Structure 1
């Protein structure tokens, strides 16, 4: 009988411990399986890539509207500056997700054996022979599994088969220091403690003065059932790369809406190779090839990647002897102007 669950309570039951032990999992390398990627990337070009070409009048109108939303910016520079050049181009946001599976074994114990089996008697399975599929792809999850026919009965490692362990309160003496002991009065008068009658010690309540308590690991039976516990983990590794001018903030490109010009999902991916922008092809090649060998002990279940194109216009200007540039980017035509030349030096009056 297979015992699957993503519940932490079941995990606690499978790794039952009364001594604060932390389970140590041994990860098992996945068997090597040669898989060839499909030909989608070789047959499907990226595109179309259509830049957003703006005129000087449109740029000025967008800039003035942007300045009006800024409390400390003056609109004079936006209205009077000379726009010398506009360079339309594209920003690319490449995302690669790799969904992997990894398995680990842990030698654990139970007081009683797990009833039922899914295999013939005396037949055992290896970690990667157990059939298990994720419920949702690209969603992290963990499952625990009691390996069939892995149970064997042996001596308890805590009490060595005796069923008893030293009392943790009195350490086998059966006595503890009396907390109620008091001595008061003068030389001629002494008040004795009713608990210990002046001996300063009292019977240990935890072990009833025997010095031993029942072993909690085996329940006093002296023997426990050892078994192998399997953990199957599904993990999504997410990587991204922004291909843009070095001066343009990466964080803005990640949050800016754009058009997805290419996407594909496969068991194993081939890098993008038919994008007109060669830098995109190079980035995809490096990231995809690294992902194929990044987790050697795991198995790649599925991969997906996407390429988002964001239109951008680099605008060069001149104003009162100053020269510089700013960007109009995205389908919403947002502005990134790092050093706007004219700002207020005091709070505006309302």
Structure 2
């Protein structure tokens, strides 16, 4: 090829190679795996149809009529003193000197549902053929996606596995290099030559001085292919053949639904995420049902809502392997006190006795 026909970058135009992904026509037709992707796209399959939550079913649970026991004065004071000490600009004097007036306990419940789900996504995979065992139809029929045996990891822990689907392997000629094991060099287009990088293909340098690097020819041997004009195919690593099989990506996730059943007392329920409560109810099985006969009837409605949401949200693309739900009683006490003849209040909440006191009178005080 005449160097004058090369591009301004000093290279010839690229040769036409095979497609980057194998065409669908060269892949085997496998029952249950029709139209699966080849480019790494995750396309999760619907699980087998199995019964969803019963519309009328429920779990009766003998729950004691527990209620919040008001904290004593010493606990309330120590909690507020610690709250003040945790803030650099707060004075502890109001907490130490306050006169406690009234304690208002509130029953608040946290309902939490966890659904451990499994999702499966098949795709065609290929790798250079290097004498792998060809587990094909001769060894049996490929199992459907949801019948491929995969060990379930620890319950309610996120995990991911990739497994080969049995009896789907085959060997085919590489689509990228047309089974040649080599492709045209992308630098010289099989000519084995490129423009001299010293003189940019002119053959001379300053003035009429001949280029010593290319001896005045303006071209040099292509280093990319050692002057051969072709290079090893990266797709098949020079083998000319590819080993095909279907790979199943299996994902496990723990999905949560949480709701606070509260009393209207002005306490911000988002703070409950950092505290624990007293566990009143716990159940774990393949499928849980709405809680019945709970002292607070709102728990029945919330549990029914959460279970239905999870089946609607995950049932079409995932299999629910295990569910568990709990109800906690979260201690919340509103404390009223007086300091310097003014009335104030704060909340003590959670089994940790954390404090919420947005109007604490000792803010931005000089600590003595």
Normalising by the smaller structure, the TM-score range is 0.7 to 0.9
Which runs of no fewer than 5 residues in structure 1 stay unpaired? 1-16
Match among 61, 64, 85 for residue 44 of structure 1: 61
Q: 1:263-296 CA deviation, whole Å, 9 max, x = no partner?
A: 1101011122222122322222211111122111
The alignment status of 1:313 with 2:333, answered yes or no, reads yes
Q: Quote how far apart the aligned CAs of 1:91 are.
A: 2.5
1:328 equivalent in structure 2: 348
Instruction: Output the CA distance in 2 between the equivalents of 1:214 and 1:67.
Output: 69
Query: Any conservation in 2 of the 1:152–1:225 contact (CA below 8 Å)?
Result: yes
Instruction: Output the CA distance in 1 between the equivalents of 2:42 and 2:98.
Output: 68
Instruction: Output the CA distance in 2 between the equivalents of 1:223 and 1:60.
Output: 76
Which runs of no fewer than 5 residues in structure 2 stay unpaired? 1-20, 22-37
Query: Any conservation in 2 of the 1:74–1:344 contact (CA below 8 Å)?
Result: no
1:292 equivalent in structure 2: 311
1:97 equivalent in structure 2: 114
Q: Quote how far apart the aligned CAs of 1:147 are.
A: 1.6
1:269 equivalent in structure 2: 288
Match among 21, 27, 32 for residue 49 of structure 2: 32
Query: Any conservation in 2 of the 1:164–1:213 contact (CA below 8 Å)?
Result: yes
Which deviates the most, 197-206 or 241-250? 241-250
Query: Any conservation in 2 of the 1:175–1:203 contact (CA below 8 Å)?
Result: yes
2:241 equivalent in structure 1: 223
Q: Quote how far apart the aligned CAs of 1:111 are.
A: 2.4
SS at match of 2:59: helix
1:145 equivalent in structure 2: 163
Instruction: Output the CA distance in 2 between the equivalents of 1:270 and 1:108.
Output: 41
TM value normalised by structure 1: 0.78
2:10 equivalent in structure 1: none
Query: Any conservation in 2 of the 1:64–1:79 contact (CA below 8 Å)?
Result: no
Q: Quote how far apart the aligned CAs of 1:114 are.
A: 3.8
2:104 equivalent in structure 1: 87
Which deviates the most, 243-252 or 280-289? 243-252
Query: Any conservation in 1 of the 2:94–2:339 contact (CA below 8 Å)?
Result: no
Instruction: Output the CA distance in 1 between the equivalents of 2:278 and 2:228.
Output: 77
Instruction: Output the CA distance in 2 between the equivalents of 1:135 and 1:186.
Output: 74
Instruction: Output the CA distance in 1 between the equivalents of 2:235 and 2:143.
Output: 27
Q: Quote how far apart the aligned CAs of 1:256 are.
A: 2.0
Relative distance call for 1:290 and 1:132 in structure 2 (3 A) is same
Relative distance call for 1:324 and 1:171 in structure 2 (3 A) is farther
1:205 equivalent in structure 2: 223
Instruction: Output the CA distance in 1 between the equivalents of 2:354 and 2:347.
Output: 8
Query: Any conservation in 2 of the 1:139–1:235 contact (CA below 8 Å)?
Result: yes
Instruction: Output the CA distance in 2 between the equivalents of 1:192 and 1:328.
Output: 86
1:257 equivalent in structure 2: 276
Instruction: Output the CA distance in 1 between the equivalents of 2:117 and 2:136.
Output: 26
2:125 equivalent in structure 1: 108
